[in-house]
Amino acid sequence: MVTRLAASELGAILSSHFVDQSKLPVLPIMLYLSLGAKELVMNTSEPPKKVVRNLPDLAALVGLSKRRGFVFQSSEIYGGLGSCWDYGPLGSLLKLNVKKAWWNAMTRRADIVGLDASILMHPTVWKASGHVDGFTDPLVDCKDCKTRFRSDNTDSYLKDKKCPQCGSKNLSEPRLFNLMFKTHMGPVEDAGSVVYLRPETAQGHFVNFLNCQQSSRYKIPFGIAAIGKSFRNEITPGNFIFRTREFEQMEMQYFVKPGTDAGFFDTWKETRWNFYLKYKLKAENLRFHPHGPTELAHYAKAAVDVQYNFPMGFSELEGIHNRGDFDLTQHMKFSGKSLEYFDEAGKEKFIPYVIETAVGCDRLVLAFLCDAYREEVTLDEAGKEDVRVVLGLHPDLAPIKVGILPLSKKEELSSVGLRLRDQLAEDFDVNYDEAASIGKRYRRQDEIGTPFCVTVDFETANDQAVTVRHRDKMTQDRVNLTQLNRYVFENLKDFYK
Ligand code: ATP
């Protein structure tokens, strides 16, 4: 019988399992605990064999990311550029897969369309949205409740340097600060040519609300989804790719009839929660954080964050907001154009309310990496530790689906292996590796989360088959070469069955 134990539960469970106390495997267990195990996977009919450790800290992930080609510091050879990161060969694939998962979840529904709006928008958009006026003053950040406020007209700050929301004195220095990156359009750099790099993708959805609705002929309730770069001149970026100044957002605005908004807000909370479970974020690492009245943005009727338990603690992963009709009303006011919706069934016009779901792609990549990382530690007879680092990514997200590993570099094997590489590459992202011992190559694939490894061996020429190893179950199947693509396709789908 296999039992998963939290380290803190060990004492009680051990004494109940081992009636004969003299048989308690005390020494190995103490050793496992001293390795920092948070969880013990043990076979209770034999002495424990394997310990699973979680990610020790962010530094371990930063190291792996660089070593294996997930994320590099931007402009590294020049000393790097603060809070900017480059996604390497594997990172770019992983990020693409995360975007694909989100995009498919959103747009393969009958009620949501996609949009790819430009980063540069008419400057009045940012007047209407409140960004121009909201972010051009001397600003102070409250490091506790995250309120950002003006230092030049806030009484509590002017009087005794306190946050007006929570009273904390844990504040940043005031800075003349514009959250938006400003640039100029055209050859003349004067005030009339100022444009901004968008600080969120959402405004593209609002200004295109009727374009999308009328061209798709969708009726309310319906949504617009987009993935794109956003830019914020953050005061306090950091924690690797958690908070950066250039990042990618995945936002969806769902337009509903006023009065139905509270129900849709709840539905979207549930939908987004289930998305994370589907892609195997552990439920215990997720929680909702509803915004209290002091945290609510001025335009929001209700808001909740989905928080993830990052190495630095639970922090926002996604925001789900009921924005009411604030944005459409503002754009009607500033553009002079109607953005009202005509409901044919009820023969009435109204300005829809908006439920927004907004998640950072980079932040989600970080969550998936943190959650997937595990170290499987086994001790041999002599008590020597062997560590298998595994990125247990959901197979849809794993950058490489199949590693092709010929048992030796001999031509008779590598020629089959390379042919197989091309055959599999027609359907999947694959990696061919013939350098180093087979054990080391398996470990390399485990560390990047490859669901299946295919070994070409000296029998292959005879039986026209290869051995396929499952990353998590460690089971092996002998599969005919001609059936391999179908086998991988079906088993990727059934990976957790
Ligand atoms: P935070 O308080 O963490 O800065 P926010 O509340 O300002 O985030 P939103 O404006 O609601 O964030 O943006 C939606 C999502 O975009 C966030 O939940 C987060 O995942 C992502 N995001 C926002 N700012 C950044 C950033 N600077 N770097 C990376 N991702 C970000």
Q: Separation of 328 CA from ligand 1 center, angstroms?
A: 22
Q: Which residues pair with 253 in a beta bridge?
A: 224, 356
Residue among 247, 307, 327 to mutate when testing ligand 1 (max atoms within 8 A of CB): 247
Q: Contact 209/193 with Cβ under 8 angstroms?
A: no
Q: Which of 239, 368, 385 is nearest to 312 (CA)?
A: 239
List the chain domain ranges.
2-53, 71-121+205-368, 400-493
Token pair of 461 as six digits? 């020429």
Token pair of 427 as six digits? 């359907």
Q: Indicate whether residue 232 lines ligand 1 (CB < 6 A).
A: yes
Displacement of CA 437 from its chain's centroid (Å): 33
User: What are the 10-residue block averages of pLDDT along the chain, 497 residues in total?
Assistant: 41 35 40 42 53 95 97 96 95 98 98 98 94 74 83 83 92 81 89 92 97 96 98 85 96 98 98 98 98 82 96 97 97 97 94 98 98 94 90 98 96 96 98 95 98 97 97 97 98 97
Judged by DSSP in three states, 377 sits in strand
Spatial neighbors of 454 by CB under 8 A, at least 6 apart, are 402, 403, 404, 405, 420, 424, 466, 467, 468, 469, 484
**In the prediction, which pLDDT does 176 show?**
67
**Cα–Cα dist 72/490, whole Å:** 34
**In the prediction, which pLDDT does 41 show?**
45
Of all atoms in ligand 1, which is nearest to the CA of residue 244? Answer: 28
Dihedral angle at the C-alpha atoms of 275, 360, 313, 54, nearest 10 degrees?
A: 60
Q: Which of 403, 373, 390, 375 is nearest to 472 (CA)?
A: 390
Q: 71-121+205-368 — its CATH code? A: 3.30.930.10
Burial class (CB in 10 A: 0-12, 13-18, 19+), 136: middle
Of all atoms in ligand 1, which is nearest to the CA of residue 315? Answer: 3
Displacement of CA 81 from its chain's centroid (Å): 22
Topology alike, domains 71-121+205-368 and 400-493: no
Residue with CA closest to ligand 1 atom 3 = 316
Q: Indicate whether residue 247 lines ligand 1 (CB < 6 A).
A: yes
**In the prediction, which pLDDT does 133 show?**
80
Q: Indicate whether residue 460 lines ligand 1 (CB < 6 A).
A: no
Residue with CA closest to ligand 1 atom 26 = 243
Q: Separation of 152 CA from ligand 1 center, angstroms?
A: 26
Residue with CA closest to ligand 1 atom 10 = 200
Q: Indicate whether residue 249 lines ligand 1 (CB < 6 A).
A: yes
Of all atoms in ligand 1, which is nearest to the CA of residue 364? Answer: 20
Q: Indicate whether residue 391 lines ligand 1 (CB < 6 A).
A: no
105-to-114, 250, 368 alpha-carbon distances in Å: 11, 12, 17
Q: pTM of the predicted model, to two decimals?
A: 0.85
Q: Contact 146/170 with Cβ under 8 angstroms?
A: no
**Cα–Cα dist 229/316, whole Å:** 18
**Fold type of domain 400-493:** Rossmann fold (3.40.50)
